[in-house]
Structure 1
Amino acid sequence: MSGELRVLGACPLDCPDGCSWVVTVEDGEAVKLRGNPDHPYTRGALCVKVNRYLEHARAEDRILYPMRRTGPKGSGRFERISWDEALDEISARLRGIVEEHGGEAIWPYQGTGSLGYLQGCEGAAGRRFWNVLGASKHWLNICSSAGNSGLTLANGTPGGMDTEDFALSRLILLWGTNPLTSGHHLWKFVQEARANGAYVVAIDPIRTRTADQADEHLAIRPGTDAALALGLLNVVLAEGAQDEEYLAEHTEGWETFREEILAHPVERVAEITGIPAGAVHSLGMRLARTRPTAIRATMGIQRHEGGGTAVRTINAIAAVTGDWRHPGGGVAYSTSGHVHLNIDPRDDLLARPVRTLTMTRLGSELAPERDSVKCLWVYGANPLGSTSDTGAIRRGLAREDLFTVVMEHFPTDTVDYADIVLPATMQIEHADLHAGYGHMYLQWNEPAVEPPGECLSTTETFRRLARHMGMTEPSLYDSDLELAEQLLASDHPSMEGVTLDRLRKEGWVRMNYPKPFTPFAEGFPRRSGRTRFPSRGKAYVPSLSAREAGRGPYPLTLITPAAHMFLNTTFANNPELRRRAKDPVVLVNPADATARGLESGRLARVHNDGGEFLAVVEVSDRVARGVVASPKGHWPKHVPGGANPNAVVREADADLGRGAVYHDNLVEVTPCPADGAGS
């Protein structure tokens, strides 16, 4: 290849913005990456992280060849081997496990490292291979499952507003979301609304970058969001501002839900949430008087024991006020429910039904006493950096009888425990199909350059492994373009006219939804056609921290927000982004710091019965008394003490969807000795 070429693609990472990008290639090398200026949502801008993507793909620590472990598990010592050697060993081990223990002893552990429908988790890449083998299924509950379940119960879909329509809103509630760090493209539409007089409120336990820019910040107690929603609606009812026509035509369960609202007067809600009663009442009055109101509630809000119900109850606000009937009104959680690709898990390839293993229960499932998982195959994931109870995971990965294969780009903590490491392509090196979960566009990622070394895409890795194992199922060998055609062969009206040829030529296509988009103006995709309100006593499920904070040996609630410089643990090995992120910090309110002898700049131990991690104290009123915050993302091997906040995150389920509980953990924070050593 010679000369200059501009290649259209899409960011694969776990962010709602799903950016469209343009790669400039000169003489076969990617030399420039920019946001696609023609894309209505990306508008030419990428984030501080993805701006360094080309540098990241060329990093010195990139894994380029298959490797076999030579040292003890956890040592990170490997030798280079050929693909044939790797596939020979893998094939033999998989056959032996299936013969001795059955296919369910194999756990394909897939994460959100790529949201691609070909190479990533959205299309469950590799599922056909695993079904032929009879492996366990994998429940990817780490991200959004509690909220998805709550919205599906209520509305029949997790889909909601088109976030571009926030430009039409007059009151915007950014509820448990920090878009200036995690999805900054929304802010353009918020700014358009503000230019036309919109009022913006950030509801968040932390005064985030976004809260700094809002007109008002309400520092809510973690896990009490549903109670605040009920309190705001209490004011709406007191003002007689409910939309009786919409309630009668498009909802069910209103009378009992009304009783629940009336049982949550402002004064009670103030006690529960920690927000002054005057602030609750003032926002309730704004909500009562302002149409359209748009609510942006993203995934952090549902990572506690009552998370699914919290999202469901917040969603109910738009039905009570009738905001769903107004352009620029409603709730935006995820647009994934509006994506109707033809995703077929091919369960017909299973010889018999198999069990499903839950992502956030990895530590307990790998425990030696359970003895039910003999092979862990990790791809698009770094569980030792991202999953609950990393101490238990580390102990499980150290089992000599556990055969672990990791497909990766870089030598993560999880890679250090692998028996075989397989080099994976990055986004500029393979084809993929994407749909951002914060906008209404499908996007095609065309490979821009050849893969370095011997890296293979996920799809090609499974094709080669199937061939190596002598599998005869024809669908295992479908090409990437054939897989994409199958995904696009949907008869849903939203997909009419969306073809692979068109996507490859144009780079992106808006699904067939109107602009502006009022998805539930005329009803909901449930059998009744109505949204279903929570029943009496089921509209607020207190989280562990809401019930127990301030009591016992661990009185502080720990939340683990997104880091500005990392995306989950992606980019946490990039030298410049690590430099900007600095060492792990824990934000502590001044009153809590004084009571514990904590000082800014000193190392502290954050701990509970499950584990501990070390972080530099930042005494700050950005967190309320009783709340501490430590951003996620650092690789454990890179930080003092060798652990990140997930060391103290317990294995537990949210109320719906078996969601994770990253923001629902009780800890204590104590100063480290002068030498910086933990106990």
Structure 2
Amino acid sequence: MTVNRDTFMVRDFNYDLQMAGRQPVQWLESERAAYDLVPTHCCFCGVQCGMNIRVSEGRVVGVEPRDFPHNRGALCPKGVVAYQQADHPERLLYPLLRRGGKEGRLERASWDDALDYVAERWQRLQAEHGKDSIAVYSGSSMTNEKCYLAGKFGRVALGTRHVDYNGRLCMSAAAGAYTKAFGIDRSPLPLPDYALADCILAIGTNLGECFPVAMQWVWQARDRGATFIVVDPRETPAARTADLWLPVRPGTDAALLNCMLRQVIHDGLVDEAYVRDRTTGWEAVKAAVEAYTPERVEPITGVPAERLVTAARLYGRAATSLILHARGIEHSTHGVNNCLAAINLALARGQPGRPGGGVTMLTGQGNGQGGREMGQKANQLPGYRGISNPEDRRHVAAVWGIDEAELPGEGAAAPEIIGLMARGEVRSCLVLCSNLMVSLPDNGFVRRALSGLEPLVVIDFFMSETAELADAVLPGTVWLEDEGTTTNLEGRVIKINKA
């Protein structure tokens, strides 16, 4: 027998806005608690699990799980050790400047010297080559407030149009597909809703290893009798435990999804009323998938025809079905079409909008959702406003206190910025919260592009492979030292408290 803890806890506060520190009724000085608990969230993936940071005498000393709605007290191995970033012996704690040119060494410098160095060179570059000679290459594993400032700094302080972020490498395909299909780049349902599904189709995601805490909701669905289908070229742990595993050939996911949709149509499993009343373009989609017969798709995907039919029927006959997808289908030259194929399948069954049903992206990067809403994308201003939309431009310019004409236009996307560096059109770049030497393809080309910058400025809290090439390295804060908000993969805005 166990007790219900909620019976003994007074919950007159919001889960996420708990105050740091001790309760009003404290231990006597001689018996006081050894540490304070600061409620916050893990930074290491899009789930953003709730946790309590242990703080003793001003130092972070440990972590405890927190009973938050989407992780319910669970933490994965990354979350358990995340607090160790704060006092890690390899933390960058002071600025570094490369003395004696590109062949020189990075040496410790004062903040005044480092900032003067960067400002003087940027002013000279823009005077000689124009404002767009400098780029800002940002990231998403920061608070919403930092992401907002990254975009504003680039466009207002530097006046450059070349502002983008590393989410361009992962979530942009899903963002484009959801914007096209639903009119908004957002996940349509919360994590606990996964448990309400009768069939879950996981495609392009190694759910069990990359999102172990989110996996608990899949297990709850399976405990209720839900069917679990995994589409993955590899036999992952999730694939081994699935009711049906489809070992698809890499790059052929759209063909597989189109085949499933065709089978749903031929089996009479389309929610005709939903499609008629809530969608547009159905006849064109229906005609497009007709050619994707199981027999034709088998040699394309490597999945036997009978498995394709079985998957379609398991999915199509479920009262509530859910498609979960991630980078496996999005990191592709046709990533948008892959995501749209998943969305089309869900819409044909009338699932989006039902509790536990529909289709949803699994954002990988910490604050990957919020990071792309704050105005640090090449074509976007804060709040999904378009940088080429006159009304949006006037609104943001008024908020920022500048003339609309001073606001730069659309710039290059993140991968394109590297090409501009190589051609000498971008002569300096501020890189923050991103490691281009690891995340971008063609490592040799990226190295040559970065090495040609004068200067390359990197803000990081560790000496990354990109920081090793920099002319100026400025130490940044880790998540435990920040106060602000992030937005997790559900679209839930959560509070980050400084430890």
User: Is the shorter-chain TM-score for this pair beyond 0.5, marking a shared fold?
Assistant: yes
User: Is 2:225 the counterpart of 1:197?
Assistant: yes
Report what 1:143 is aligned to: 170
How far apart are 1:288 and its partner, in Å?
2.4
SS at match of 2:145: coil
Out of 428, 436, 461, the residue aligned to residue 375 of structure 1 is 428
Residues 608-655 of structure 1: per-residue CA shift (max 9 Å, x gap): xxxxxxxxxxxxxxxxxxxxxxxxxxxxxxxxxxxxxxxxxxxxxxxx
How far apart are 1:388 and its partner, in Å?
2.2
SS at match of 2:170: coil
Report what 1:442 is aligned to: 493
Residues 526-553 of structure 1: per-residue CA shift (max 9 Å, x gap): xxxxxxxxxxxxxxxxxxxxxxxxxxxx
User: Is 2:464 the counterpart of 1:433?
Assistant: no
How far apart are 1:363 and its partner, in Å?
3.5
How far apart are 1:201 and its partner, in Å?
1.0
Out of 373, 390, 411, the residue aligned to residue 463 of structure 2 is 411
Residues 56-107 of structure 1: per-residue CA shift (max 9 Å, x gap): 32222111101111366487x3211111111111111111112111111111
SS at match of 1:49: helix
Residues 182-206 of structure 1: per-residue CA shift (max 9 Å, x gap): 2222211111111111110110111
Contact 1:373 1:402 in 2 (8 A): no
Report what 1:423 is aligned to: 475
SS at match of 2:336: helix
How far apart are 1:407 and its partner, in Å?
0.6
Cα distance in 2, alignment partners of residues 381 and 416 from structure 1: 13
Report what 1:309 is aligned to: 337
SS at match of 1:252: coil
How far apart are 1:442 and its partner, in Å?
1.9
Query: Aligned runs of 1:135-214 on 2, under 5 Å?
Result: 135-140=160-165, 141-159=168-186, 160-214=188-242
Cα distance in 2, alignment partners of residues 102 and 440 from structure 1: 38
Cα distance in 1, alignment partners of residues 83 and 234 from structure 2: 33
User: Is 2:42 the counterpart of 1:11?
Assistant: yes
Report what 2:440 is aligned to: 387
Stretches of structure 2 that go unaligned for 5 or more consecutive residues are: 1-20, 22-31, 364-368, 375-381, 388-395
Out of 323, 330, 350, the residue aligned to residue 322 of structure 1 is 350
Contact 1:200 1:215 in 2 (8 A): yes
How far apart are 1:395 and its partner, in Å?
0.9
Out of 308, 322, 327, the residue aligned to residue 299 of structure 1 is 327
Contact 2:71 2:214 in 1 (8 A): no
Cα distance in 1, alignment partners of residues 346 and 478 from structure 2: 40
Kindly provide the amino acid, as one letter, of the partner of residue 38 in structure 2.
V
Cα distance in 1, alignment partners of residues 155 and 362 from structure 2: 28
User: Is 2:156 the counterpart of 1:127?
Assistant: no
Cα distance in 2, alignment partners of residues 430 and 239 from structure 1: 54
Cα distance in 1, alignment partners of residues 252 and 397 from structure 2: 40
Contact 2:155 2:163 in 1 (8 A): no
How far apart are 1:384 and its partner, in Å?
0.6
How far apart are 1:294 and its partner, in Å?
0.7
Report what 1:54 is aligned to: 83
Q: Give the number of equivalent residue pairs.
A: 437
Please give the root-mean-square deviation of Cα atoms over the aligned residues, in Å.
2.3
Judge which range, 343-352 or 167-176, deviates more: 343-352
Kindly provide the amino acid, as one letter, of the partner of residue 158 in structure 1.
D
Residues 150-202 of structure 1: per-residue CA shift (max 9 Å, x gap): 12111212332323211011111011111222222221111111111111011
Kindly provide the amino acid, as one letter, of the partner of residue 69 in structure 2.
P
Kindly provide the amino acid, as one letter, of the partner of residue 145 in structure 1.
S
Report what 2:118 is aligned to: 90
Cα distance in 1, alignment partners of residues 234 and 493 from structure 2: 33
Cα distance in 1, alignment partners of residues 209 and 261 from structure 2: 29
Report what 1:69 is aligned to: 98
Q: Residue 191 and residue 71 in structure 1: after superposition, are their counterparts in 2 closer, same or farther (change >3 A)?
A: farther
Cα distance in 2, alignment partners of residues 95 and 206 from structure 1: 51
Report what 1:353 is aligned to: 408
Stretches of structure 1 that go unaligned for 5 or more consecutive residues are: 449-679
Contact 1:132 1:351 in 2 (8 A): no
Cα distance in 1, alignment partners of residues 491 and 333 from structure 2: 30
How far apart are 1:117 and its partner, in Å?
0.2
Cα distance in 2, alignment partners of residues 224 and 50 from structure 1: 34
Report what 1:364 is aligned to: 419
Q: Residue 392 and residue 432 in structure 1: after superposition, are their counterparts in 2 closer, same or farther (change >3 A)?
A: same
Report what 1:569 is aligned to: none
How far apart are 1:145 and its partner, in Å?
0.5
Contact 1:162 1:332 in 2 (8 A): no
Report what 2:378 is aligned to: none
User: Is 2:305 the counterpart of 1:277?
Assistant: yes
Kindly provide the amino acid, as one letter, of the partner of residue 445 in structure 2.
A
Out of 69, 76, 86, the residue aligned to residue 40 of structure 1 is 69
User: Is 2:255 the counterpart of 1:227?
Assistant: yes
Contact 2:254 2:338 in 1 (8 A): yes
Q: Residue 254 and residue 129 in structure 1: after superposition, are their counterparts in 2 closer, same or farther (change >3 A)?
A: closer
Contact 1:74 1:416 in 2 (8 A): no
Cα distance in 1, alignment partners of residues 412 and 334 from structure 2: 22
Contact 2:433 2:459 in 1 (8 A): yes
Out of 53, 57, 63, the residue aligned to residue 27 of structure 1 is 57
How far apart are 1:146 and its partner, in Å?
1.2
